[in-house]
Structure 1
Amino acid sequence: MKLAIFGASGATGRHLVKQALDAGHDVRVLLRRADGLPLDHPRLSRIVGGFDDAVAVQAVVRNADAVVSVLGSRKGAPATICTDGVRSILPAMQAAGVRRLIALSAYGALETSTASWFIRFVRSVIADKMRDKDNMELLVRDSDTDWTLVRPPALTNGQAQGRYRAGAALRPGLTGHLSRADLAAFILATAQGGSYIRAAPVVAA
């Protein structure tokens, strides 16, 4: 497959890029700096630019079999990074005729926002981040793409376990968690298998 990955330099993105390359896929990424991803591989292509550069975004998605956004907030990133990213990615996909989109969201977004008192508490603590996920999901759901919204609970930097549970009705509970390595594996499997079209699966250990 030819994969276009946004957010490749992040904690989940690095796992996803490496796993995709190890699986034999061609990967193209958008980076603000050429050295933003410390990985060299003959099937990895870097496009340097930002979401305000439509030409760069279009270059990333051109001829892709699937587009993956694993954007997330981190120090120095705008509070609307997920929404802003998808707002640029969607028209680029439309122009390129690419339909498959997988976007990383979070358990607690939109209709899962009142799943438990704990989720309501978490949303109050990280209100800006969750609002960004909500708005990003609304844009994706309103698009004419074959989208999947992936909703993990708390993420860890633990080792990949190679097993996880997934489903739109899954409730991970108060102790729900997932390693970023396993999250990347689920996203890659979803891209390869074409599963969860126009669905928002929750995935947890």
Structure 2
Amino acid sequence: MRQNVSQKMTVAVLGASGATGRQVVSTARRRGHKVIALVRRPGTFETGEALWLDVTNASALAGALAGADVVISALGGAGKGPTTVCTDGIRSAVTAMRSAGVTRLIAVSAHGVLETHDKSLYSRAVWAGVADRMRDKETMEPLITVSGLEWTIVRPPALSDHDAAGDHRTGVDLPIRLWSSIGRAGLAAFLVDEAESPRYVRAHPRITR
């Protein structure tokens, strides 16, 4: 359950125009926070946009992050084919955050990477389906853990667009099954919860319905 937060924040959202990013933007705004929505195309949101045309451009991102209290990364690569969007974007974000003096980073990764890339049915299924995106997450995560930032890497299972209604569970050792999933709205709520009331600093929480 979200704690009562009286102090409003400035939340920068990477990947703001994606399916999860849009949910993060709307959730943070609904709770009264100022949002800096990083987008590649102008006009995605009515207010609060900052253009970030090239995810490898750390200097452009640093300027946009001025005044931010927390960065939430909902970056995601292309649906098919090799991608390095998450890795390139986080590499830039770490540099930009240092330049802007922002220390708190919450990033969406995926269950099934690194030490959770095991022989479980879930891991085997997700790697069979979206291996390129999982590789991108695997090369992204170490950039975060050695960054010196106050990071949280969230590892959800399969994402869906069902409503946020219903309870979700979180934990660093939460069992993830072949059928496990979380709605994007529920994930977004957890990301903003963690920004407001940190519980998993320098940890890899999992989340599922």
Relative to the length of structure 1, the TM-score reads 0.92
Match of 2:207 in 1: 203
Match of 1:31 in 2: 39
Specify the SS of the correspondent of 1:175.
Answer: coil
How far the C-alpha of 1:94 sits from its partner, in A, is 0.8
Match of 1:141 in 2: 145
How far the C-alpha of 1:47 sits from its partner, in A, is 2.8
Match of 2:174 in 1: 170
- Relative to structure 1, is the Cα distance of residues 76 and 4 closer, same or farther in structure 2, using a 3 angstrom cutoff? farther
> How far apart, CA to CA, are the structure 2 residues paired with 1:132 and 1:53?
18
Identity between Structure 1 and Structure 2 (%): 43
Aligned letter for 2:35? V
Match of 1:46 in 2: 50
Deviation per CA, 1:51-109: give whole Å up to 9, x if none: 23333211222221101110012358960110010010001111111110000000111
Aligned letter for 1:108? G
- Give the alignment partner of residue 74 of structure 1, picking from 74, 78, 81: 78
How far the C-alpha of 1:197 sits from its partner, in A, is 0.2
Match of 1:8 in 2: 16
> How far apart, CA to CA, are the structure 1 residues paired with 2:180 and 2:49?
35
Aligned letter for 2:31? A
How far the C-alpha of 1:194 sits from its partner, in A, is 1.8
1:20 maps onto 2:28 in alignment = yes
Which structure 2 residue ranges, 5 or more long, are not aligned? 1-8
> How far apart, CA to CA, are the structure 2 residues paired with 1:75 and 1:124?
13
> How far apart, CA to CA, are the structure 2 residues paired with 1:204 and 1:28?
27
CA RMSD of aligned residues (A): 1.7
1:132 maps onto 2:140 in alignment = no
- Relative to structure 1, is the Cα distance of residues 21 and 162 closer, same or farther in structure 2, using a 3 angstrom cutoff? farther
How far the C-alpha of 1:45 sits from its partner, in A, is 3.5
Which structure 1 residue ranges, 5 or more long, are not aligned? none
> How far apart, CA to CA, are the structure 2 residues paired with 1:68 and 1:119?
25
Aligned letter for 1:3? V
- Number of residue-to-residue matches in the alignment: 201
Moved more, 15-24 or 74-83: 74-83
Match of 1:101 in 2: 105
